[in-house]
Amino acid sequence: MKSPCHDMELLLTEYAAGELPAPDRDTVAEHLAICANCRSELQRELTLRDLLGSLPLQQASPPVQPGAYPANHRTATPASRLQRWLSASAGIAAVLVLVLLAGRFSPGTPGAVEPATRSAAPTAEWTAEEIEEAQQEIAYSLQLTARLLKKGERTGFHQVFGEKLPRVLSDSLRKSFHTNQGDQG
């Protein structure tokens, strides 16, 4: 069953906005004079109006200029996000392969081959100079790959893998971030 004030409360938004025609406005005013509940409801309406009405204007990114989009442009939809994720994943997968290789050749890391067992490992035929050269090659490739990742992807990558990232990759990502910042500046 509707409250006796229900009809009045429905009119309060227009009443507070000054949009209510004269006959209804007078009826509401007369009711408000005798009903404390509706006066409280009007106060809530005024508070809502004040808080939402005084929300600051926020600035969007620079405006889209006519002609700025190529014909095949698509905005960020879930599908395009998925594509971006897949392309980022491909990059990440490449990085991980390199990480595994780096781990294999980096002394002191859990996956590294110790000198004592190196004779039985496939790397036994590698000279120290070749290993060092390979490590430099991997580090350079990591840096290049990391630079292909966007800032958001790099951060997301960090947050997904956290502290599991080997130092060589963390360094590359960090360096690439600073390099990209420098490029932009």
Partner 1 sequence: MDPQYLQHHLTEQRDRLYSAALYVLRNEQDAEDVIQEAFLRLWKFPGRIESGKIPAWLRRVVHNLCIDQTRRRKTQAKHLGRPDPYALECLAAGPERRPDELSAEQDELLAAMEALAPETRSILVMHYFQGMKLVEIAEVLDLNPSTVKVRIHRARRSLRRELEPQPEAFAARQETG
Return residues touching partner 1 (CB under 8 A): 3, 5, 9-14, 17, 19, 36-37, 40-41, 44-45, 48-49, 51-61, 63-66, 69, 73, 75-76, 78, 81-82, 84-85, 89, 151-156, 159-160
Q: How far is the CB of 55 from partner 1 (least distance, A)?
A: 5
Residue whose CB is less far from partner 1, 56 or 110 = 56
Q: How far is the CB of 164 from partner 1 (least distance, A)?
A: 16
Q: How far is the CB of 120 from partner 1 (least distance, A)?
A: 38
Query: Helix, strand or coil for residue 66?
Result: coil
Closest CA to 44 of 2, 9, 20, 18: 9
Residue whose CB is less far from partner 1, 64 or 121 = 64
The DSSP secondary-structure symbol of 65 reads P
Closest CA to 168 of 112, 116, 115, 99: 99
Residue whose CB is less far from partner 1, 127 or 184 = 184
Residues 42/12, Cβ–Cβ less than 8 Å: yes
Residue whose CB is less far from partner 1, 126 or 161 = 161
Count of Cβ atoms closer than 10 Å to residue 50 Cβ? 10
**Integer Cα distance of 94 and 105 in angstroms:** 17
Q: How far is the CB of 166 from partner 1 (least distance, A)?
A: 21
